[in-house]
């Protein structure tokens, strides 16, 4: 019996030591990741997508997302594991990118608190990253679009919005993967992409990346002071077909709306031109016909004269008079005045 009691005591002691070791590890993790806590502001009723990176050697390990309002990892409540959806939380693993994404929807003020991305290495140790979500009716920092897409060699524009409280705060555009950041007023190069950031000092920060490559794809965040807003950038390969499509996309929409009107005007112009040519030819033929009739009439009047007259003195009626040309067969008496009376009535 004493031996059994001793064994139980040793087992209990080992268990307590293991628990203490686990708590020490978790505290160390909490302390080492404390400076890495990212604060995200989300609008009430809105949604957010959060990237959680991990080393490629942990591809097959279990991933999960947990929550504690006070930021204590030791009592973190598991909300969802990778590739599952629970209530308003979805976790999707992307092993080809060595990250998993967490999507939270319909966030309310009571969802404000600290969240953890975790990758289970063994039962005693997890690799974690910490996020603090601040749900506000009017977020201090936000982006117009949390997902942008561009072709290789193209460009993207991202607009970050901030409140007057953060007007004079330090502003940056950073990449999650390598934590490389670009500040306002600088023009730098990431891969082959030129990065330019401008601030209007009235609540809008505009970022432009041009000359993009596929390697520029990934997660970035707009940083204003201690607040961040994540943005996913996707750069797609360019093919021959997509080239023509891209050129069509480059045409302003207002210009595209003018095409139907231009086509109608062109058709009307063609119709008016054809009608004008037809009418001109018809008019020309009519003029030619009238001219020909006049010419024929003048010719007939030169060759013949038709008249009807009565000589009251001789009671003679000339029904017709025909001028004949002189011929050698006619004698002087026959051709006097070249007149032949076809009929005489006395």
pLDDT tens-place string over residues 116-166: 999 988 776 677 789 999 999 999 999 999 999 999 999 999 999 999 999
Q: How far apart are CA 63 and CA 74, in angstroms?
A: 17
Q: Under a CB-based contact definition with an 8 Å cutoff, are residues 158 and 73 in contact?
A: no
Percent of the chain residues past pLDDT 90, beyond the cut? 46
Please state the rounded mean pLDDT for residues 21-37. 46
Q: How far apart are CA 49 and CA 221, in angstroms?
A: 11
- Which of 316, 319, 297 is closest to 306 using CA atoms? 319
In this predicted model, which residue has the larger pLDDT, 230 or 316?
230
Domains 19-136 and 141-250 share a fold: yes
pLDDT band at residue 101 under the 50/70/90 scheme: very high
Percent of the chain residues past pLDDT 70, beyond the cut? 64
Average the pLDDT over each of 188-192, 213-217, 251-255, 292-296 and give the range with the smallest value: 188-192
pLDDT tens string 108-129: 999 999 999 999 887 766 777 8
Among the four given CATH numbers 3.20.20.140, 2.60.40.10, 2.40.30.10, 3.40.50.150, the one describing domain 141-250: 2.60.40.10
Distances in whole angstroms, Cα of residue 204 to Cα of each of 40, 53, 166, 184, 208: 17, 29, 11, 12, 13
- Looking at the chain, the number of H-run helices and the number of E-run strands are 3, 21
| Buried residues in 131-140 as b, exposed as e (16+ CB within 10 A) | bbbbbbeebb
Domain-by-domain residue ranges, the chain? 19-136, 141-250, 252-282, 302-346
Distances in whole angstroms, Cα of residue 113 to Cα of each of 39, 81, 119: 10, 19, 20
Whether 298 has a pLDDT exceeding 90, the answer reads no
Distances in whole angstroms, Cα of residue 258 to Cα of each of 248, 249, 270, 271: 14, 15, 19, 20
Whether 69 has a pLDDT exceeding 50, the answer reads yes
pLDDT of residue 259: 76
pLDDT of residue 297: 62
Range from 129-143, 243-257, 325-339 that averages highest in pLDDT: 129-143
In this predicted model, which residue has the larger pLDDT, 179 or 240?
179
Range from 13-22, 138-147, 248-257, 282-291 that averages highest in pLDDT: 138-147
pLDDT of residue 280: 86
pLDDT of residue 187: 54
pLDDT tens string 78-92: 899 999 999 899 999
Q: Is 326 exposed, middle or buried (0-12, 13-18, 19+ CB in 10 A)?
A: exposed
Sheet with 99-104: strands ordered across: 48-53, 99-104, 89-94, 84-86
Whether 239 has a pLDDT exceeding 70, the answer reads yes
pLDDT of residue 261: 82
In this predicted model, which residue has the larger pLDDT, 51 or 23?
51
Please state the rounded mean pLDDT for residues 308-334. 48
Please state the rounded mean pLDDT for residues 287-291. 73
The structure tokens listed for 36 are: 């890495």
Whether 174 has a pLDDT exceeding 70, the answer reads yes
pLDDT band at residue 282 under the 50/70/90 scheme: confident
Among the four given CATH numbers 2.30.42.10, 2.70.150.10, 3.40.50.450, 2.60.40.10, the one describing domain 19-136: 2.60.40.10
């Amino acid at each position: 019996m004493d031996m059994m009691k001793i064994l139980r005591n040793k087992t209990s002691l080992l268990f307590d030591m293991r628990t203490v070791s686990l708590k020490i590890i978790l505290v160390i993790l909490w302390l080492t990741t404390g400076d890495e806590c990212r604060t995200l502001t989300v609008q009430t009723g809105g949604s957010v997508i959060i990237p959680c990176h991990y080393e490629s050697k942990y591809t097959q390990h279990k991933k999960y997302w947990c929550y504690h309002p006070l930021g204590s990892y030791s009592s973190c409540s598991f909300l969802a594991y990778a590739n599952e959806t629970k209530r308003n939380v979805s976790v999707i693993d992307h092993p080809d990118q060595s990250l998993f994404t967490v999507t939270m929807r319909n966030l309310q003020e009571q969802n404000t608190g600290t969240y953890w991305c975790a990758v289970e290495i063994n039962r005693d140790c997890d690799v974690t990253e910490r996020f603090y979500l601040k749900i506000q009716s009017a977020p201090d920092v936000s982006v117009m679009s949390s997902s942008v897409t561009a072709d290789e060699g193209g460009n993207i524009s991202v607009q970050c919005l901030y409140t007057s409280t953060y007007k004079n705060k330090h502003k940056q555009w950073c990449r999650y993967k390598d934590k490389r950041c670009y500040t306002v007023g600088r023009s730098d190069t990431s891969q082959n992409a030129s990065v330019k950031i401008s601030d209007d000092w009235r609540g809008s920060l505009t970022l432009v990346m041009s000359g993009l490559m596929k390697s520029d794809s990934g997660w970035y965040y707009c940083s204003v002071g201690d607040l961040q807003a994540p943005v996913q950038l996707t750069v797609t390969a360019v093919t021959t077909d997509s080239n023509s499509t891209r050129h069509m996309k480059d045409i302003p929409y207002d210009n595209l709306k003018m095409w139907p009107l231009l086509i109608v005007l062109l058709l009307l112009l063609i119709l008016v031109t054809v009608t004008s040519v037809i009418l001109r030819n018809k008019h020309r033929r009519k003029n030619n016909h009238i001219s020909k009739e006049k010419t024929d009439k003048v010719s007939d009047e030169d060759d013949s004269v038709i008249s009807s007259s009565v000589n009251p003195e001789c009671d003679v009626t000339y029904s017709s008079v025909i001028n004949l040309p002189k011929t050698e067969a006619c004698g002087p008496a026959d051709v006097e005045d070249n007149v032949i009376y076809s009929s005489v009535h006395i």
